[in-house]
Structure 1
């Protein structure tokens, strides 16, 4: 075997490291963001204001990165469609529902239900022939979904359960799953993650600002103290990293691996909510979290085996 062939084989064998690293780091950022949203509400920042200013800050950060790397967002009809549809389902709509539900159902529950998109994403990818059926990956998705389902059922059966807010919160993962499929299908030709991420966030900020025209919605934030501003700045940084990694994972790992970001976020976000924010542990936490972790491992392993078969061919 030539040196070039050896180098190519070695590269293919380790190609899974990039999406796997993006999955772990991006998921951790989601878990932290969920808890920060709860803290922001406790210090008087409304979900819409918190989300709008954080997304705006993240858009500015990523736009500066794109300018430095000379990868500006493309300005075509196709890309504008991509920005606004992706922004609606993947950022503005889903996050506004989830962040608004946190005061009513808890940060730990929201962190856990964000792990629900894998089944919807996997089924959609199979129906659209974007993903080949793999028994290991299917078992992983089923395990993650079962773990999240155990926790959701326990939440519904709680005596103080807010059914309306639980149902609204569950709509968030549905939008996230739709976004996973849409972004893969409609990815603009030859566009890089560095170029698309700021475009989507700018569109999301515009959509959220339009929401402020509705009664009882406002993006106003009191700046009498430094704490609200500081929390928004931190969240903007988290969003910038989260969405940049999301696009890299979208390109390198596909929609199903991407959908497991929420599962990793649950594994990180729930302990933070319990130990740092004083929430009571959700019923069935050990079983649910164990199944979610198993699901992440199986889907990742299945992807590695599929890549290995492609290399052998």
Structure 2
């Protein structure tokens, strides 16, 4: 099997597990910003071994920490800050819809940057996944565009833009000689420092103690996050930015199944139709990778 295919499935599966775990944490009193800080700090510290080995050799690739800082800022900190600011004003459905735009934005930016043009099969997968994801979000009954404040809606539209820029940047600026695990660690450590500053500014720092209310969930989240970020950076290198961006589709489908099986959530026919179309889109993407590699 082509290496990007299992990486896409594993990365999307881990992403899909992170979503419902975050929901459980918020329901027991952990703020979303604290949970995001936990993911960044836990992953950064959990994957530090390669960084420590690199530090002993003192052979940092050129631009290594610049890459880590920009990657963390664009892919993690800025999108999450917008999510926290916009979700109370727009609703979870509309904010979730913004994440489904990421593959389409990544595709547009990759073409503008002169990167390899995806095949017609890959393009079909991107747009089929997008259509299914939109239907999936609409099926939750939370999206009311006519009620959305235009300023916040415009701000929320920056979420997929930042995610797409991050996907492209990670691929184009990858420091020569750097490994996936050490880049994942460094990017999360720089993200954690920026998120910590956000916690201080927003007066949310004292709420970190709420993590002690769910120690097993906290530990499991750190372990899954470490695995997720290693897989993410490996997929970035193996599959490219457009292929990588489709982890959101896989994650959405997995989160839906986990919600039904483990969290007793219930969805209507529209949501399941959307999920089926998402799976068709993923199938096109997988078939394309098996064909060309």
For normalisation by structure 2, the TM-score amounts to 0.84
| 1:1-313 superposed matches below 5 A | 14=1, 16=2, 18-64=3-49, 66-67=51-52, 75=60, 78-98=63-83, 105=91, 114-153=99-138, 163=148, 171-218=158-205, 220-222=207-209, 226-281=212-267, 284-307=270-293
Q: Which moved more, 1:166-175 or 1:182-191?
A: 166-175
Contact 1:38–1:102 under 8 Å retained in 2: no
1:7 match: none
Contact 2:74–2:162 under 8 Å retained in 1: yes
Deviations 1:26-66 (A, max 9, x none): 11111111111111111111111121123211111111355
Contact 1:116–1:262 under 8 Å retained in 2: no
What stretches of structure 2 of length at least 5 have no aligned partner?
Answer: none
Contact 2:94–2:143 under 8 Å retained in 1: no
Q: Distance in 1 between matches of 2:263 and 2:86?
A: 16
What stretches of structure 1 of length at least 5 have no aligned partner?
Answer: 1-13, 308-313
Deviation at 1:182, TM superposition (A): 0.9
Contact 1:151–1:284 under 8 Å retained in 2: yes
Q: Distance in 1 between matches of 2:160 and 2:57?
A: 30
Contact 1:137–1:298 under 8 Å retained in 2: yes
Contact 1:93–1:175 under 8 Å retained in 2: yes
Q: Distance in 1 between matches of 2:15 and 2:98?
A: 12
Greater Rg over alpha carbons, structure: 1
Deviations 1:263-308 (A, max 9, x none): 110110012223433444267212211121111111221233233x
Q: Structure 1 161/30 Cα, relative in aligned 2: closer, same or farther at 3 Å?
A: farther
For normalisation by structure 1, the TM-score amounts to 0.80
Q: Structure 1 159/283 Cα, relative in aligned 2: closer, same or farther at 3 Å?
A: farther
